[in-house]
Every structure is written in C-alpha cells, then in structure tokens.
C-alpha cells in the first residue's frame, strides 16, 4: 500500500482525478462502482496507471441490497441482496462470487483486492461470520492473482459510539488473515466530525488495526486526514464532495445526488484554518494581514490571487490538492508520533487564527471553527492514552 493520499472516487470524479495526478497529488485511486460503469472504469484505470497511480476497486457492499445502473454493470451485481439472504449463501455460490470478483479486479489491474463486506454492527455475530466468509473468498482471489487482499472493516454507529463494543468487534475482525485493512468509521455528523469522543475512538480504532503490523487505509477520510497518520494509518482516501469526507450509509440509501451543494458559492479551503471560508463574501472582509495568513497558493488559485471570480469546481480542486499535499507531508514522518506533532501544530495555529477572525468580529457561515479544538483535545488524549501502542508502532516502522 503506497503511503499518503489516495483519491476516493465519487460522482464526477474521473477527469478531476486525472487533473490531480497531473499535478503530482495522490498515490492511487479508489474506484467507485456506484458512480462509474465497469467499461468506463476500465478505460479510466488505464489513464490512471499511465500517471503512475495504483488502482483499487471498492466493491461497496456496505448496504448490500442497494443497487443502481452503474453497479449492475459489474460482475458482483447478482450477489447484492439483503443481509439475511447473504447469511445463507452456499459455498458454491461463494466460489462464484470469488470468480466474479476476480474478473472485475483483473480487468482493472488492481494493486490489491478489497474484500466486500457489510458494515459491522454491535451484537451482530451474523455479520461477523458473513464478512469472514466474504474475506476468505476474496483472499483466494488475491492469492490467485498474486496481489494483497485488504479486509474491509467498516464500523457502524452502534460500534463507534461505544468503546467496549468497538474493541470487542476489532478483536474479532483483526483475526482475519488480511494483508491490510480498508477502514471506515461511521460518525454521527454528516459533514465534518465534531465530537471529541468520536474522533478519539476513530484514532483508537486506527491504532488497533495498525498494531497488527499491516497497512491501514482510512476510507472517506476527507479533512480528518490531518489526524489519521497519528494513529499509524498508512493511507487516506480523499475526495471533493462532502459526501466523500465522512463515511455514511445514507449515500447508499438515497438517489443519485452527488453532494455538490447546488448553487452554493465557492469555498476556499485554507491550510492555516484547516477549514473553509466563503469566497468572496467572507474572504473580502478579512484585513490584508489576516488574509495573508489564511491564504496559501496552489495550482488552482490563480483567480483568487487577483480577487477574480472563482468557480466552485476549481475550488474543489484546490481543496483536494491542499489536503493531499498535507497528507504527503504527514505520511513521510518516520513515526506516528511525529505525524501527530505536526497535526498538533497545525490545529493550534488554526485555533489561534480563528480567534483573530472572531475578534473582527466575523463569524464564518460554515461554522468552520467548530471542530479544531475538539480535534486537538482528542489527539492529545489519544497520545496520552496510547503511549505504549505508539512506541510499538515506532519500533515496527523503523525495524
């Protein structure tokens, strides 16, 4: 698993990702069968490999009875069904599922197999057993093709709201003979995780997976990628729409909406604020000295430098580029504790800068200052509580 940022594909992601790779942002691409037909996925996979990106195919079995026209174009479509029916899938049908999974991954020439899996829930031994069977079938595929197999470990809200339930589940899930982990965490918040306790559990789940000695990819990480590497996570999935910033099953229960925000104005994502500010409605109100602290250039900010109209689509490109570049810095540190020190500095600076803006007074419409202090508190608590685990990971990574 290549360390750093990976592009988590969603609606209208394909050419967007090409552009990011052309600007040397991203180590790989996680393709979304929900949002792209199999034929087009094969076409774009070629162009991504030409740009030296690795490819992964996320089977997106989280809500296994959800389907749409794009999903129907993949081989696995005949196995999408209610959990109660999947629980009784026969061994011959499981072998057939493995063959279909192999066909999809061979066509896309993926760097690893992501095993299909249902979202884990508390007190659901049937899901634990089902995911174990799906993983074993997937591991056979990886072994035949000669690539690693990553177990999908997506934690539902009934787990992410309880330390005991989460730890118990992870103890069972990490018994799988996986070559790595494709990890998702279902927060209560739709856009940005705010709760200190939830973010702390996210970090704890990450380090439990990382302490197996196998690489971890945090799917749908979004801006939370700033903290991910502190827990030993190796790679993060980032995307432009808000429904790619935070794993939620609602995306597989609703219609085809891309989460693009309709006619909303462009948002400027500031590395210093580690959040968004509305362009130009709010940015134009900042004194020049503060704006110089808020603003950082990217290949997509030419119009911003001149105070010109800036398209929402270009603002997305800037956001993903900014998060991706930060992820590359964070992933290059030799230990998770070093990555955490960088994140702590970034968050402290963001809090201070937000306080300066509030004193103007200017209250940012996105409530973009609502989470940094909680993230900092969660990270500092994590560093205190998990000192032994962090020492162990440092030994693993430097051995």
Per-residue pLDDT tens over the stretch 116-137 = 999 999 999 999 999 999 999 9
Residue with tokens 């690539």: 147
How much of the chain, in percent, has pLDDT values that exceed 70? 97
Distances (CA, A) of 203 to 172, 197, 214, 224: 18, 10, 16, 10
Q: What are the helix (H) ranges across 146-195? A: 157-160, 163-173
Report whether pLDDT(257) > 50.
no
d(CA 305, CA 393): 42
Check residue 341 and give its pLDDT: 98
Eight-class DSSP state of 180: E
Grade residue 82 by pLDDT with cuts at 50, 70 and 90: very high
Q: Are 23 and 322 in contact (CB under 8 A)?
A: no
| Mean pLDDT value of segment 44-59 | 97
Q: At what angle do helices 196-210 and 387-397 cross, to 10 degrees?
A: 40
Largest CA distance in the chain: 68
Report whether pLDDT(15) > 60.
yes
| Mean pLDDT value of segment 21-36 | 96
DSSP result, 269-281: EETTTTEEEETTT
| Mean pLDDT value of segment 104-119 | 97
Q: Express each pLDDT in 212-232 by its tens digit.
A: 999 999 999 999 999 999 999
- Any idea which fold 4-252 has? TIM Barrel (3.20.20)
Report whether pLDDT(254) > 60.
no
Q: Express each pLDDT in 364-393 by its tens digit.
A: 888 889 999 999 999 999 999 999 999 999
**Sequence-separated (6 or more) residues with CB below 8 Å from residue 38:** 73, 74, 75, 104, 107
Q: Indicate the domain borders of the chain.
A: 4-252, 267-397
Q: What integer best gives the mean pLDDT of the chain?
A: 94
Count the neighbouring beta carbons within 10 Å of the beta carbon of residue 282. Answer: 21
Q: Express each pLDDT in 273-328 by its tens digit.
A: 999 999 999 999 999 999 999 999 999 999 999 999 999 999 999 999 999 999 99
Report whether pLDDT(346) > 80.
yes
Check residue 133 and give its pLDDT: 97
Eight-class DSSP state of 297: -
Give the range among 128-137, 155-164, 242-251, 255-264 with minimum mean pLDDT. 255-264
Dihedral pair phi/psi, residue 30, rounded to 5°:
-105, 110
Check residue 259 and give its pLDDT: 47
Enclosing H/E stretch for 267:
strand 267-270
Check residue 256 and give its pLDDT: 45
Check residue 263 and give its pLDDT: 73
Grade residue 78 by pLDDT with cuts at 50, 70 and 90: confident
**Sequence-separated (6 or more) residues with CB below 8 Å from residue 269:** 223, 275, 276, 315, 318, 319, 322, 323
């Amino acid at each position: 698993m290549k360390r750093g940022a990976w592009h988590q594909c969603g609606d209208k992601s394909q050419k967007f990702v090409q552009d990011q790779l052309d600007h040397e942002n991203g180590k790989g691409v996680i393709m979304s069968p929900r949002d792209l037909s199999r034929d087009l996925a094969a076409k774009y996979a070629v162009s991504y490999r030409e740009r030296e990106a690795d490819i992964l195919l996320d089977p997106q079995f989280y809500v296994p009875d959800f389907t749409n026209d794009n999903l129907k174009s993949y081989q696995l479509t005949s196995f999408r069904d209610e959990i109660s029916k999947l629980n009784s899938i026969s061994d011959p049908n499981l072998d057939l599922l493995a063959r279909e999974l192999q066909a999809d991954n061979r066509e896309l020439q993926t760097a690893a197999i992501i095993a299909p899996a249902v979202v884990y829930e508390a007190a659901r031994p049937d899901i634990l057993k089902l995911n174990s069977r799906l993983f074993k079938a997937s591991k056979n595929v990886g072994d035949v093709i000669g690539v690693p197999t990553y177990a999908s470990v997506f934690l539902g809200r009934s787990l992410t709201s309880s330390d005991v339930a989460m730890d118990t589940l992870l103890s069972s899930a990490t018994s799988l003979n996986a070559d790595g982990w494709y990890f998702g965490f279902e927060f209560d918040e739709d856009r940005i995780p705010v709760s200190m306790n939830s973010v702390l559990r996210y970090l704890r789940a990450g380090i439990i997976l990382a302490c197996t000695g196998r690489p971890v990819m945090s799917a749908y990480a979004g801006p939370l990628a700033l903290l991910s590497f502190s827990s030993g996570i190796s790679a993060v999935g980032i995307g432009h729409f808000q429904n790619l910033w935070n794993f939620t099953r609602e995306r597989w229960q609703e219609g085809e909406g891309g989460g693009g925000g309709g006619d909303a104005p462009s948002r400027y994502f500031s590395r210093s604020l580690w959040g968004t500010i509305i362009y130009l409605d709010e940015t134009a109100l900042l004194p020049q000295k503060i704006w110089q602290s808020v603003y950082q250039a990217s290949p997509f900010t030419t119009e911003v430098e001149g105070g010109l109209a800036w398209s929402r689509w270009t603002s997305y490109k800037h956001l993903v580029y900014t998060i991706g570049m930060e992820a590359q810095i964070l992933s290059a540190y030799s230990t998770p504790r070093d990555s955490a020190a960088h994140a702590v500095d970034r968050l402290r600076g963001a809090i201070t800068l937000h306080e300066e803006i509030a004193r103007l007074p200017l209250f940012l419409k996105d409530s973009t200052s609502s989470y940094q202090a909680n993230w900092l508190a969660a990270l500092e608590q994590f560093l205190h509580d998990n000192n032994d685990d962090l020492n162990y990971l440092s030994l693993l990574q430097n051995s």
